[in-house]
Amino acid sequence: MMAGIAQHISAKAQTLRDRINRHDRLYYVEARPVISDEEYDALFRELQDLEKRHPELVTPDSPTQRVGGEPAREFTTVPHRLPMLSLANANSEEEIREFDRRVRSLPGSGAPVYTCEMKFDGVSLSLRYEDSVLAAALTRGDGSRGDDITANARTIRSIPLRLPPGLVPGDGCEVRGEVLMTGKDFGAMNDERREAGLKLFVNPRNATAGTLKLQDPKLVAARPLQFFAYTLLTTESADKKGSHGANLSLLKKLGFRVDDHARSCSSIDEIVSHWREWEGRRETLPFDADGIVVKVDSLAMQKRLGAVARNPRWAIACKFRPRSGRTVLEDISLQVGRMGTVTPVARLEPVFLGGTTITRASLYNADYIAKLDIRIGDTVTVERGGDVIPKVTSAVPPSGRKRSKRFRFPKFCPECSEPLVRPEGEVQSYCENNSCPAQIRGRIEHWASRGAMDIAGLGSANVDRLVEEGLLRDVADIYSLAGRRKRLLELDRWGEKSVDNLLGGIDESREKPFRNVLFALGIRHAGAGVAALLVDAYGSIEGLMRASRDELEQIDQVGPRIAESITSFFALAANRSLVDRLRKAGLNLAESAAEKKKNGIFSGRTFVVTGALSGRSRQEVKTLIENLGGRVASAISAKVDVLVAGTDPGSKLGKARALGVEIWDEGTFNSKITTS
């Protein structure tokens, strides 16, 4: 009898989950609700009450679990199974036609069919499903690794927590797409913030990016985020069968929103016409778009075309012309960056452009101002480059009155009054005083930023205050603040809790891996990607400091400019002293064995080893894989990425082929580890 009651309650819970999921899809994906908000709320409360009385019934994909758990202290970084490549841009009809010519030059390409979709102006996201249940959500990151924001993604109602059974081959898939806010939702959210006296967001994309970085899912759930899917990766797509258009249809069946404006085009003339049409109609879209994306529809042809650098050869972003407007240039000021670069900035009479009020725009350098003959008081044309970054593109002299004098670039730093230097052959001017307050602030802010050492409590306002008070003169001083706690508590509005939180964040940053430290040092031209390459190549700060320019240039993606910047940085006695102080502060200046494994070339991939191998035992191969970050499984399944097959591989070879698992012979395996 009790078993029958338990079965009845379980069935009722599942029925409620299915009904709520159906109504979520009707409301958030298909925009055609069939019940009132009150009726929906009643269903939700009934399921909540049932799960509260019977917690054993709670499942990870239950609608009640979209928001749960404590706020995260930080996001972990996870490798992508396949790189999330960026798209090359086409800004003219000729560049679009050139893309088509390159595709057609592939032997056997025939007359390719293309799929055109809107280029969403949002934030890319990768969703992993295992056994049809959402298992992970990763940001794009650097294309190779992204932040795990699964808890935040679960709050987005247009992301299914469970996929309908039987529609996706195998037991797992990956769905990639864009998180965004519609213009209507963004406006309503800002209206609410205005009424509450909160700071307004600048535009939907910035609001979306900032929301996904929040570490409390409950706050994320309160923001109107939506997800549009544009890529489906399955074991079938790994074999490159079928078409992109068919995958879009399947994504819709799986419960995802896709671009309703997607169109199949069989000629380049159709593509150009479609691009021009939507360039004129983009204001009618419910979301921001800055172009259309053109993709070769055949997955087999996509595989044959492959990728160059970080761009697929089978897709291109056809950009719309930037939005532009006219306003008055009220003044030109100078901004000093953390590397000493002095950039002129236009101070503008406010102009509303593409949903944003523009008051400042970059003027780049002295040559740019001279070329356009831009003068204070002129009417200027302002564009949002990439529909994001404002720039002045032309100047119109005022009518009826004399123009102001030409702008003369100053000879001295506006922050510290030291002489500015413009290296021969360069367009930028620099302040070379490392003690310049603007540079100190910039370097410390960069050091504490989330992509570097991620120190909570060291935002721009606090950095300004600590520099003004003489408590911070460089990044190494951060690690002496614990000994100045009493002095910190004397600062206005700095209570014990805020001081202890700051010191705790500083202490935690000592655990950051070497690659974070190297990026945080802020060496010119050495971003996060270059820092990772250097760590992989040298493993320690000592090894890197000994490297010559010629040695550095042997590293893939490290050219003469980067090599010169690195050697120049470490040639300075002040920088070598800084490194020594950071070492004494307990920071990681070498990559640990665990980090090497975590960041190895096989990181995030699962292998099976089978058959007889001539050069190494199977155990030796397994150990090598694990040391390079990979995982070794015993049996073939859809979750396996690579089968390493020796002679007499047995039935595993056939099963791997059937599931689309990548197959390496011993020679291929050796070449992979030799070039790592």
Does residue 173 have a pLDDT over 50?
Answer: yes
Predicted confidence at residue 169, as pLDDT, reads 72
**What value does the mean pLDDT take over residues 146-160?**
92
Q: Mean pLDDT lowest for which of 236-240, 331-335, 378-382, 483-487?
A: 236-240
| pLDDT score recorded for residue 79 | 85
Q: Are 635 and 628 in contact (CB under 8 A)?
A: no
Query: What DSSP designation does 603 have?
Result: T
Among 598, 608, 587, 602, smallest CA distance to 652 is for: 608
- How far apart are alpha carbons 389 and 383 in whole angstroms? 8
Across the range 659-676, mean pLDDT stands at: 75
Answer with the residue of higher pLDDT: 572 or 581: 581
pLDDT greater than 60 at residue 581:
yes
Res 3 pLDDT > 60: no
- Percent of the chain past pLDDT 70, that is, above it, reads 91
Say whether pLDDT at 659 is over 50: yes
Q: What is the pLDDT of residue 387?
A: 46
Alpha helices (H) along 539-676 = 541-546, 549-553, 560-571, 573-584, 593-598, 618-627, 651-659, 666-674
The runs of H, that is alpha helices, within 71-182 are 93-104, 150-153
pLDDT of residue 67: 64
Of 73-87, 155-169, 633-647, where does the model show the most confidence? Answer: 155-169
The CA distance from 277 to 608, in Å, is 51
Which tokens is 67 given? 């928001």
Q: What is the pTM of this model?
A: 0.60
Contact 529, 558 (CB under 8 A): no
Contacts of 196 (CB under 8 A, 6+ apart): none
Strand blocks (E) in 184-266: 226-233, 263-265
Q: Which has more confidence, 53 or 571? A: 571
What does the pLDDT look like over 202-241, one tens digit per residue? 788 889 998 998 888 889 999 999 999 999 998 655 455 6
Contacts of 645 (CB under 8 A, 6+ apart): 610, 611, 652, 653, 656, 663, 664, 665
Q: Is the pLDDT of residue 296 over 80?
A: yes
Query: In the prediction, which pLDDT does 661 show?
Result: 84
Residue keyed to tokens 């994309």: 205
Task: Please write the tens of the pLDDT for every residue from 552-569.
Answer: 988 866 888 889 989 988
pLDDT score at 676: 44
Q: In this predicted model, which residue has the larger pLDDT, 385 or 659?
A: 659
Quote the pLDDT of residue 493. Answer: 84
Q: Band the pLDDT of 31: cuts 50, 70, 90.
A: low
Q: Which DSSP helix (H) or strand (E) runs through 22?
A: helix 2-24
pLDDT digits (tens, 9 = 90+) for 474-507: 999 999 999 999 999 999 888 899 899 999 999 9
Mean pLDDT of 586-605: 76
Residue 145 predicted with pLDDT over 60: yes
- Would you state the pLDDT for residue 488? 94
Per-residue pLDDT, 309? 59
Angle, CA of 318, 319 and 325, to the nearest 5°: 160
Q: How confident is the model at residue 598 (pLDDT cuts 50, 70, 90)?
A: low
pLDDT reported for residue 531? 85
d(CA 225, CA 155): 9
Q: Which residue has the higher pLDDT, 517 or 662?
A: 517
Q: Are 512 and 447 in contact (CB under 8 A)?
A: no
- 68 — pLDDT class (breaks 50, 70, 90): low
pLDDT at 134 > cutoff 50: yes
The pLDDT, as a whole number, for residue 1 is: 37
How big is the chain by its Cα radius of gyration, in Å? 28
- Stretch 298-303: mean pLDDT: 91
pLDDT of the residue at 345: 94
Mean pLDDT for all residues in the chain: 85
Beta-bridge partners for 311: 308
pLDDT value, residue 2: 39
Q: Which residues are catalytic?
A: 119
Distance CA(86)–CA(80), nearest Å, equals 14
Interatomic CA distance for residues 346 and 361, integer angstroms: 5
Task: Select, from the ranges 67-71, 113-117, 626-630, the one with the highest average predicted confidence (pLDDT).
Answer: 113-117
The per-residue pLDDT for range 424-455, each reduced to its tens digit, is 888 999 988 878 889 999 999 999 987 789 89
Average pLDDT over residues 570-596: 87
Which residues lie across from 128 on neighbouring strands?
Answer: 136, 174
